[in-house]
Amino acid sequence: MSSSNIEVPYIQSLFQADGYLTTHEAEIRRRYGCFKDLLNRIESNEGSLDKFTRGYETFGIHRTPDNGIYMKEWAPGAEGISLRGEFNDWNQLQYKFTKGDFGKWELKIPPKEDGSCPIPHGSKIKLVMHTKAGKLEDRLSPWAKRVTREKEVPIYDQIFWDPKETYQFKHGHPNKPASLRIYESHVGIASWQGKVATYPEFTRDVLPRIAYLGYNCIQLMAVMEHAYYASFGYQITSFFAASGRYGTPEELKELIDTAHGMGITVLLDVVHSHASKNVVDGLNQFDGTDSCYFHSGGRGNHDLWDSRLFNYTEWEVLRFLLSNLRWWIEEYQFDGFRFDGVTSMLYHSHGMGHGFSGDYNEYFGLNTDTESLTYLTMSNYMLHKFYPDFMITIAEDVSGMPALCRIVDEGGQGFDYRLAMSIPDMWIKNLKEKSDDDWDLDNICHILTNRRYTEKCIAYAESHDQALVGDKTLAFWLMDKEMYTHMSELSPPSLIVDRGIALHKMIRLITMGLGGEGYLNFIGNEFGHPEWLDFPRIGNQESYHYCRRQWNLVDDKMLKYKYLYAFDRDMQHLEKAFGWLAQHTQQYISRKNQGDKVVVFERVEKLLFIFNFHPNNSYTDYKIGVGYPGRYRIVLDTDSETYGGHKRLDHNVEFFTNNESWDDRYHSMMVYIPCRTAIVLAKQD
């Protein structure tokens, strides 16, 4: 069928938002046709999309109603499969699978004579793959729900997880928040102690902090099991298993349920862009061949990440990945996903060595990988179809692919948000290369607002990657070694610390104020976490010293971290009260004065944000334009003593507009703006 004949139900809505896309209408229709063709084939061959995406109900290992065992696996390149484990003294050949159609294998083990299950809960099992080379090789089921390893053993074992009592959820999914304020978290580093923290510790110690600060969403990293801890959770070995290094599946369920009880949405950082190269305890060479779940040859390898790349055209790979998404929702009650590595998926080049200029030909040419694009489209269609009330999907995409965050029936890929990845890059570049005296406010404002109209973005001031060893947190870039000596209330004054605390607050406020329709903070950075993040490895003698969050710093009332923590709390609660992130129209910047170092902009018709980045100059009776007339008062002030400031502003003062136009606004007012200070004024009537 010609692409011009492919009906896209609401494509005109897409063109109304961006008329330049009409040039690529044929390609947009063709891509939608690929999605519809896949959907039709799934429904025709499998009965329904719902059934197809519940593969975990039949694949993997299951206890049957009569207490027997049923297993099903897909291994098209295998000569045979058998099951061994503690239950049969690791006999490799006792329980052999029967070969079925399309590379599928089945095994049935009857219950014991006493009617009990032949494989006890918590016991170790392994698949034995009979390869074409005539070898018997151990593998873990791709559908394994729990895997663990002995302390001194590097290889993971599959655990038959069938507890008599499972966690019973008490709370339903929260409704999708209009304003998304994300607290990005890693359970393992969430303790101040030098160890791997646990799900129960996170539930007890960290969730109350997140709720107190005012975040309404948690994004959990490194939950899908990964053999190498230092991979930050991005080299997945077992896609259906919650990481056992933090605790049990039931304890993760309790964490999520407790968050739901606090009204907090929980997203999973899902990695479907690639997989670990591990063979014995990963997906690589599962059936003894180079392909199976992945492309064979060079296309199946990511050279930069040293990992394997999925074959998104393979029927059982689609079943596996789509079912994986539903598993995390149905079993653990996650509310959505942050899809990792989307840029790598979208392009045959994986985005490597490609600085996207914004030219639309870069997105609608031959470099775009239609197969993975179709998979992402199907994922979003499926998730929003089955879970419309709470589902949130976020794309980690740096390329700016048009329509990525437009609905599928417009010809988009259906994501709700994309990460505004250029923003943290901009801040780190400014801190590394320039004094704040020389910051280009035009460029800063451009980066903060340069996003596709009607496609929502998540703004963030610093990414978790920037905290990794070899780099530093924003706070450490601003204050460096002074944080070791001058963060105490008893320390002598430090101009470096004074500057660092002031700019840390201003950077976060202008990012949240201008940068997107959602906001994200990485665990601990809200209080200016010092130093960097370094996972235990041979190079650091397996040390956990930098692999933790030092809550003791913010809890110590004699240290200045409390000021940044208090500011972040009040910034989140201010957004909660006024909801400017939910306002999808472009905000109006009325002033960007490079000489004065002043930026002024408005949000939600009630809030006026005023920033003075000048290191020395304070301005009395400074005239600013105002779009909405009335009486205004200060509702947030970075210079407040509550936030470690100098208390140069009187919060009892009211500001009144006059009818003199200024900066292309119909009204104006006079304000006092101290140097290195930001204030937010709220309209009172």
Whether the CB-CB separation of 655 and 633 falls below 8 Å is answered with yes
b vs e for 579-596, b when ≥16 Cβ sit within 10 Å of the residue's Cβ? bbbebeeebebbbbeeeb
- Nearest by Cα to 584 from 628, 518, 521: 518
Whether the CB-CB separation of 155 and 165 falls below 8 Å is answered with no
Whether the CB-CB separation of 276 and 244 falls below 8 Å is answered with no
b vs e for 264-292, b when ≥16 Cβ sit within 10 Å of the residue's Cβ? bbbbbbbbbbbbbbbebbbbbbbbbbebb
Assess whether 396 carries a catalytic annotation.
yes
- Nearest by Cα to 408 from 158, 146, 35, 27: 35
Catalytic residue among 73, 137, 340, 568: 340
Assess whether 290 carries a catalytic annotation.
no
**Which residues are CB-contacts of 273 (< 8 A; sequence separation ≥ 6)?**
309, 310, 339, 340, 341, 342, 344, 345
Q: Which amino acid does the sequence have at 611?
A: F
SS3 for 53-121 is: CCHHHCCEEEECCCCCEEEEEECCCCCEEEEEEHHHCCCCCCEECEECHHHEEEEEECCCCCCCCCCCC
Classified as helix, coil or strand, 1 is: coil
CA distance 219 to 357: 30
Catalytic residue among 369, 396, 462, 637: 396
**Which residues are CB-contacts of 23 (< 8 A; sequence separation ≥ 6)?**
360
Here the tokens at position 421 are 């990845």
| DSSP β-ladder status, 677-683 and 631-637 | antiparallel
Here the tokens at position 646 are 């100098």
Give backbone dihedrals phi and psi of 352, rounded to 5 degrees, phi first: -75, 130
CA distance 301 to 632: 58
**Which residues are CB-contacts of 37 (< 8 A; sequence separation ≥ 6)?**
none
- Nearest by Cα to 598 from 575, 624, 580: 624
Q: For residue 419, count CB atoms less than 10 angstroms from its CB and return exposed for 0-12, middle for 13-18, buried for 19 or more.
A: buried
Q: Which residues are catalytic?
A: 340, 396
